């Protein structure tokens, strides 16, 4: 396949991602047994991982999506997060699991968690496909983490560079 940018080595294959989603799905199913759970995916990056994760949860879950973007210079997000698409479900007395593609500075997930906590849920936890702790700016942690990555610009499996490469069926990074 030809790409405009140079894509690096494959860090995680589709099979490895699916197997991790199986493990996380099982953990979530045990942790929330007998509870009402809403999975809230962040558009657009979390879509492929959300699809894998939800199929591995053996509870009656509801799903919804939010889209957030943050002001910031270039490649780094800021604390100011704007909601572009809101959830449609009522979260009152339900357990919310926010499903993210990657936690980088942590700004986006921290703001989203605070926002969802105002909607009356029993709890809000975070499940992220990737964690890049080297770049963390705010104190926020994933409760369920797929894989920890180094300080690389990750693409594939939902993650984009200028809206491209979300469709790659593996996780890689941009060389350069
Ligand atoms: P944060 O607010 O800095 O934690 O960044 C969160 C958002 O920035 C993620 O949901 C991604 O959309 C984007 N992002 C952060 N790091 C990367 C990366 O390495 N590749 C692609 N997108 C990224
Ligand atoms: Mg993005």
Whether the Cβ atoms of residue 75 and residue 132 lie closer than 8 Å to each other? no
Residue 136's domain comprises 16-152
Query: DSSP letters along 55-81, please?
Result: HT--S--EEEEEEEEE--STT---S-E
Q: What is the CATH number of the domain that holds 83?
A: 3.40.50.2020
pLDDT at 71: 67
129 alpha carbon – ligand 2 mean position (Å)? 13
pLDDT at 173: 98
Q: Over 90: is that where the pLDDT of 73 sits?
A: no
Indicate whether residue 66 lines ligand 1 (CB < 6 A).
no
159 alpha carbon – ligand 2 mean position (Å)? 6
Q: Report yes or no on 158 lying in a domain.
A: no
pLDDT at 70: 75
Q: Report yes or no on 165 lying in a domain.
A: no
Sequence-ordered list of residues with C-beta below 8 angstroms from that of 18, at least 6 positions apart, any chain: 52
Q: Over 70: is that where the pLDDT of 135 sits?
A: yes
Q: Report yes or no on 124 lying in a domain.
A: yes
Whether the Cβ atoms of residue 120 and residue 91 lie closer than 8 Å to each other? yes
Residues of the chain with pLDDT > 90: what percent? 88
Residue 25's pLDDT band (boundaries 50, 70, 90)? very high
Q: Report yes or no on 52 lying in a domain.
A: yes
Q: Report yes or no on 37 lying in a domain.
A: yes
Give the separation between CA 14 and CA 150, rounded to whole angstroms: 19
160 alpha carbon – ligand 2 mean position (Å)? 6
Q: How many domains does the chain fold into?
A: 1
Q: Report yes or no on 133 lying in a domain.
A: yes
Whether the Cβ atoms of residue 101 and residue 159 lie closer than 8 Å to each other? yes
Residue 69's pLDDT band (boundaries 50, 70, 90)? confident
pLDDT at 2: 80
* Ligand 1 pocket test, candidate residues 76, 80, 101, 112, most atoms within 8 A of CB: 101
Indicate whether residue 128 lines ligand 1 (CB < 6 A).
no
Nearest atom within ligand 1 for CA of residue 46: 10
Q: Report yes or no on 7 lying in a domain.
A: no
Give the separation between CA 125 and CA 170, rounded to whole angstroms: 25
Whether the Cβ atoms of residue 43 and residue 65 lie closer than 8 Å to each other? yes
Q: Over 70: is that where the pLDDT of 75 sits?
A: no
**Residue 163: nearest ligand to its CA?**
2
Indicate whether residue 37 lines ligand 1 (CB < 6 A).
no
Indicate whether residue 131 lines ligand 1 (CB < 6 A).
no
> Which residues are the active-site residues?
104
Q: Report yes or no on 166 lying in a domain.
A: no
């Amino acid at each position: 396949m030809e790409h405009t940018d140079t894509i690096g080595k494959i860090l995680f294959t589709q099979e490895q991602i699916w197997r991790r989603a199986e493990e996380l799905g099982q953990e979530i199913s045990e942790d929330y047994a007998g509870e009402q759970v809403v999975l809230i995916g962040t558009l657009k990056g979390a879509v492929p991982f959300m699809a894998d994760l939800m199929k591995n949860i053996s509870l009656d879950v509801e799903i919804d999506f939010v889209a957030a973007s943050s002001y910031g210079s270039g490649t780094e997000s800021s604390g100011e997060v704007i909601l572009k698409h809101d959830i449609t479900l009522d979260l009152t007395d339900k357990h919310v699991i926010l499903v993210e593609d990657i936690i980088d500075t942590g700004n986006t997930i921290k703001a989203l968690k605070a926002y969802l906590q105002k909607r009356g849920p029993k709890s809000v936890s975070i499940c992220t496909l990737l964690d890049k702790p080297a770049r963390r700016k705010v104190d926020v942690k994933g409760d369920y983490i797929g894989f920890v990555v180094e300080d690389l610009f990750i693409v594939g499996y939902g993650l984009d560079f200028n809206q491209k490469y979300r469709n790659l069926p593996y996780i890689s990074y941009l060389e350069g």
